[in-house]
Each structure stands twice: as structure tokens, then as C-alpha cells.
Amino acid sequence: MTRNKVEICGVDTSKLPVLKNEKMRILFRQMQEGDISAREELVNGNLRLVLSVIQRFNNRGEYVDDLFQVGCIGLMKSIDNFDLGQNVKFSTYAVPMIIGEIRRYLRDNNPIRVSRSLRDIAYKSLQIRDKLMTKNSREPNPTEIAKELGVTKEEVVFALDAIQDPVSLFEPIYNDGGDPIFVMDQISDDKQKDIQWLEDIALKEAMTRLNQRENMILQMRFFQGKTQMEVADEIGISQAQVSRLEKAAIHQMNKNIQS
């Protein structure tokens, strides 16, 4: 079977080599003895790691070439800092570093401005997280990071949240083959500013023509400000079913109003 040719930064990804573990250990020893060509072979032999990581960031609207180049920087850093004496696979060590490099790039290019003090805590927290991850071969929790940094757990959590990329309200979070469920479907509206249209007499009349379950769902969603998940829990069906019933009920109401 032939692979489809896909070029990123002029690299034909279908022809990228794959290094076996024993070969990599030999190359690492050669590199640490000063062999520059061994380092280059290690980079080329692990570019597939970068490709696998950048797929996680496909929905960010960034150019793939840019992400690939940034990921390669993370790969080279992991190659230069990898310790053969640690009982850990290179990929296990490299992937978090590649992800970290890409996240730093995305944060630095984020148009939303965060205060300098928050950024400082966030970046120091990320550095400590990387250090603890390398030391313990697992993701540290906010309490461990806060202890190392000398701040409270809440400060760490708040700072890291502040530099996260914004998420579109229309980003799908679940799809069971029917209508997708979006982020906005998970958010309740306490002020209920968008339900004023339901107060119109014609719309209330249209609601009375719905069956009992459809009427209940719309009452809970638009009058009580509940999320689809909350509605699903209360009436004992799945969130996907709530989404479909809600859309069908609104469609039926529109037909009733126009008739």
C-alpha cells in the first residue's frame, strides 16, 4: 500500500523514516560523543512524533507549517536533553516537550492580553510542570506545582486558566451520528435574555401544541435556564436525545406559528 504524499515545510511526510529503539540508543551515544550527523538522523527519524502531536491542534486555525516548525524545536530540545540513563522511552519524554513548545507558541500569539504577573506565574508553573514531569514521569497536580513555586494552588490554577486559548461557543463537543452538541449547549443562561421571544402570545400558543415532553424540555431550557445535560439528568434520557427533541420542538413551533 502506498502512502499519500503530503508535504509540510517541504518535507514529504510519506517518506519519513522510523527509527527502532536500539538504533536510537546507538545514535544518542554517538551524538553525546560529538557526532553531529547522529543528531540530525535522530531529528529526521522522529519527525513522525511531531506530525502526531500537531494533529491535536488542527482546530486552532494555525498554519500547519508553522506548527510543524515549532514542534520540531520541541523535538530538538528533547533530543538534546534526553538522558539515556532514565528508564523511559524517548517518545514518552519527547511528546510532552513538543506539546509544551506548541502551546507556548499559541499563547505568545494569542490576541487576548493577560496581565504580566499572571503570565509570569503561568510560565513558571509550566516550567516547573515540565521539570516535575521529567523527574517523576507523570503529570504533576496544581498543588505540587504551587508548592515548588511558593504560591497557592488557586493562583496556579487561575494563572494557567488565564493563558488558555478561547473556545468557540459553536465548537462541537459530542456527536453520536445525529445533530452535534456544541459548547453553547452546555452553558446555562441565568439572565435569560434570549428567551424574551417566548413571552410572545403566539409563541406560547405554539408551545401548547407540543407534546408533554417537548413542552417540558423547552420550559426547562429557555424559562429555567438549564443546560441540556441538566435536562437530560432530570427526565432520564441522553443529552443527544434532548438536543434532537429541542430542535424538533422549535421546528414544530415555527410551523405552528406560520400556519
β-bridge partners, 12: 7
The arithmetic mean of pLDDT across residues 234-246, rounded, is 85
Whole-angstrom Cα distance, residue 198 to residue 10?
56
Task: Using DSSP bridges, classify how beta strands 11-12 and 181-182 pair: parallel, antiparallel or unpaired.
Answer: unpaired
* The CATH classification of domain 172-258, taken from the options 1.10.10.10, 2.30.110.10, 3.20.20.70, 1.10.150.120: 1.10.10.10
Contact (Cβ atoms closer than 8 angstroms) between residue 223 and residue 255: no
Amino acid sitting at position 83: D
Whole-angstrom Cα distance, residue 181 to residue 173?
6
pLDDT at residue 2, rounded to an integer? 39
Contact (Cβ atoms closer than 8 angstroms) between residue 88 and residue 129: no
What does each C-alpha distance from 155 to 29, 124, 162, 198 come to in angstroms?
Answer: 42, 12, 10, 42
Q: Across the chain, where does the E strand assignment appear?
A: 7-8, 11-12, 172-174, 181-182
* The CATH classification of domain 110-166, taken from the options 2.60.120.590, 1.10.10.10, 1.20.1440.80, 2.40.30.10: 1.10.10.10
In the chain, % of residues over pLDDT 70: 71
pLDDT at residue 59, rounded to an integer? 67
**Residue 219, all three cell numbers:** 420550559
DSSP labels, 114-129: --HHHHHHHHHHHHHH
pLDDT at residue 76, rounded to an integer? 92
* Residue pLDDT, tens place only, 75-128: 999 999 888 887 778 888 888 888 888 888 877 766 555 567 777 888 888 888
The reply to whether domains 1-108 and 110-166 share a CATH topology is no
3-state secondary structure of 25: helix
Residue ranges covered by each domain of the chain? 1-108, 110-166, 172-258
pLDDT at residue 112, rounded to an integer? 52
- CATH class in words for 1-108: mainly alpha
